[in-house]
Every structure is written in C-alpha cells, then in structure tokens.
Amino acid sequence: MSMSAVDDANIKRRKITGRATVIFIAVMLTLTFFSRTINNFTLPKITYETPASGALIKEVTGTGNVKANTTQDLYVSNSMKVTGVMVDVGDSVKQGQTLLTLDTSDIENQLEDELDKYAQKKLHLEELMEAGSPESMMSLDKAVQIARQNVEKAQKNYDSSIVLYEAGAITAMNLTDAEANLDNAKLDYEIAKNNKDKAISSNKRDIESTKLDISMAERKITEFTKEMNMSTVTAPCDGVVTELHYSAGMTANASQPLYRIADTGGGFQFVATVNISAAEYLEPGDEAKISINSLNDTTMQGRVSQITDNQQQIGVKKDIVIDIPSDGLIGGEVGTADIKKSIGSYNVLVPNSAVGQDNKGYFVYVLKEREGPLGKEFYVEKVSVSIGDSDNAKTAILSGINTMDKVVSDSDKPLDDGSPVMIAN
C-alpha cells in the first residue's frame, strides 16, 4: 500500500472518530439535560418569602344578634282573655299606642271578693285589738288577783297551824290539810297567771297574723285594681314590637309577657360570640365593623363596651358586647362583627404557613444554594426558631433567622433538612 493510501485511511479514521466523539458528547449533553429536567420534576416545588418587619393585626370575627339596650314588657299576674291585638311583631309603635285589649270581667269579680275579705279582716283585727285591751283582760287580772289572795290566806293558815300543832292544839292531820290547802292555792295561782299569759300571747299572734292577711289583701287589691285598668294595653315607650305571645281569643297568663318592645330611644348593642383565646386580645373601646345580614349586609361601625362569659359555654366562649347606632334596627337582627386589633410591632415576620412544630419546638425551612454536578441547585435547611405573637396571616420570629433569609412559605411535598428543591415562584 502506498503512503498516500495510508494517509487517506488515517484521515478517514480521524474523521469517523471525531464524528463519534461529537455524537457522544451531544448524546451525553442531551441525556444530562433530560436527566436534570426529569429530576427537577420529582423535586418538591416551593415558594419562599423574605421576612419583613411590621405590625401584627389580630382579626377577631364572631356572629351574633342585635339587642336593644332597653326592652319593655308586661306580664299579667292573673289569667285574662285577650280580646284583640292591634299590632304585629316588627311594627314601630309610639308611646301610648294601643297594643291589645283584655277581658277584665273576671278580675273585677276577684277584686270585689278581695275587697270583702279585706273588710272582714279589718273587722276581725278591731275585735282582736279590743280583746287585748286592758278592759278585756280585766277578768283574767281579777282571777290572778283572787288566786294570789287565796295563796296569802292559805299561807297564813298554814303558819298558824304549825304553831298550834307544836302547842298540841291540833292534830298532825289538821297540819297536813293546811299544807295541802296552801299547795292547791299556789297551783291555782300559777294556773291563773298562765291563763293570762297565754291569752295575751294568743291575742298578739292573732293580731300579727291578721295584719299579715290584711297586708296580703291590700297587695291583691292593688294588683287587681292595676289589672282592672288593663282592658286596654298601651305601649310604654316609642319602640319596635319584638315579641307578641298571644292572639285574640287566647288566655294570657303569668308564664309569658303580653309583649316585648325594643326601646329605640335607649340605643342598641350587637352581641357577638368568639373563642376565649381570641377575646384575650380585645378590650372595651376597641372599634368594630358590624355587617347585618337582614339589611343587605349593611355595615356599621361600633365600639366594644364589655366582654362577658358566654353563659352556654363558660370557659370556652366569650360574648363581645358592641355599642352600635340604632338606625333601621329593631333588635334580633343576625350579623357578623369584625374587629382588627394591632397587637405589636416586630422586626421579623413570616407567613403562618412557614412555621412548623415538632417535638423539639418550632422551626422554619430556609432556602439555600450550592453548586452540584449538574450546576447550581437549591436545597432547604431546617432552622429552629423562637416565636412570639401571631395574627391571622403572620407570625413574629424572635430568634433563629433574620430579614436576609429566604424562608419557605409553601411546598407541594413534605420537606426535610437538606432536601433538594425547585423554586416555583
């Protein structure tokens, strides 16, 4: 083979080798690209935020009802038939306006009976007072006086009998009889005194008992007289009728009021129920925004006046009482209270979603960057932190990170310390 032929073969071989090398490198680059792309698809996709300084705003929301500061109602003490109802629930009424009418004929009869009883009790009291007078007690006093005189006579007779017996003028039997007469006289005297004391005590008890009966009769007469004037029931104030418990033909009784009126002149309150943990951030004077459902979600501004225990869930819920304007309200409307309260300023705030907790305490994931075999890559580092207050969106970090760190706020897959990640944002 000639030299030129050998050279041509070498050149051809080098060309083939060069093409193969180029193809190999291209294939490797292609495989590397696809490998990295496939690998990226398997990595957790995360979003991150840089911590910022600012204020925490606690937002407390609770549902509740509108209540009138002052309500007026009226109960009957005795059953009466309702003869007419002139208003409906929700009606605005003026002071003195007729609300309903009642049949008071039974009350009139009861009043007459009670007046008769009252007159009888007064007469009986006069008789008792007379029976307890010194003049009426004279016979008892006389009996005591006579019994005392009899004791004195029997005592003298007994004393004389002792002298005579010692002188031998009378027998022992005569002395015994004299002693027995003295004992009987003393017993009669005690009986007379007891009869007088019992009569006085009994008279006093009867007088006090009768006075109580008269007092009760007077109260009933006052009550019946008041209800006699209830044949026409009128509104005690300007307001809105919130409750009517009887219709015409029904019998009203003491179990339920005839009506309940929200006194529009006394203002209104909105009472919202919230969790006790949320109520800890609130205090009287805080401003609130109220949205009333039945008024097409009309909003109004109010101010917290007091915070009380919710009686149905003591220790779990609190009632937030908010003073509100009275325009268009009748009481009972359902709505929502929204209260935003600044609870402090902090240098480092992160989203609530960024903060995790395990058995060692609170932590966040911080985004880090490094050079890998396929170029620049990202991973996360688990950092322990101390937290402060939080609101509905942010948590204050007291130590562990600073405002230069990139804190993971969300991930589509679980993370661990050192996990490689791909940035979604």
**What is the distance between the alpha carbons of residues 423 and 413, in angstroms, rounded to a whole number?**
12
Pick the CATH number of 45-56+346-423 from 3.90.1580.10, 2.40.420.20, 3.40.50.10440, 3.30.70.120: 2.40.420.20
Quote the pLDDT of residue 16. Answer: 65
**Residue 92's pLDDT band (cuts 50, 70, 90):** confident
**Residue percentage of the chain with pLDDT more than 70:** 88
Among 24-38, 170-184, 226-240, 267-281, whose mean pLDDT is lowest?
A: 24-38
Q: What is the pLDDT of residues 40-74, one digit of tens each?
A: 567 899 999 999 999 999 899 999 999 888 889 98
Cα–chain center distance at 200? 55
* Architecture of the domain delimited by 102-231: Orthogonal Bundle (1.10)
From the list 218, 227, 244, 225, the residue with the least C-alpha distance to 80 is 227
Under DSSP, is residue 103 helix (H, G, I), strand (E, B) or coil? strand
Pick the CATH number of 61-71+260-344 from 1.10.10.10, 2.70.170.10, 2.40.30.170, 1.20.120.140: 2.40.30.170
| 101 phi, psi to nearest 5 deg | -125, 150
Under DSSP, is residue 221 helix (H, G, I), strand (E, B) or coil? helix
Q: What is the pLDDT of residues 10-39, one digit of tens each?
A: 666 666 666 656 565 555 555 454 455 555
Quote the pLDDT of residue 425. Answer: 62
Q: What is the pLDDT of residues 202-238, one digit of tens each?
A: 888 888 888 898 888 888 888 777 777 778 889 999 8
Helix, strand, coil fractions of the chain, as percent rounded to 5: 40, 35, 25
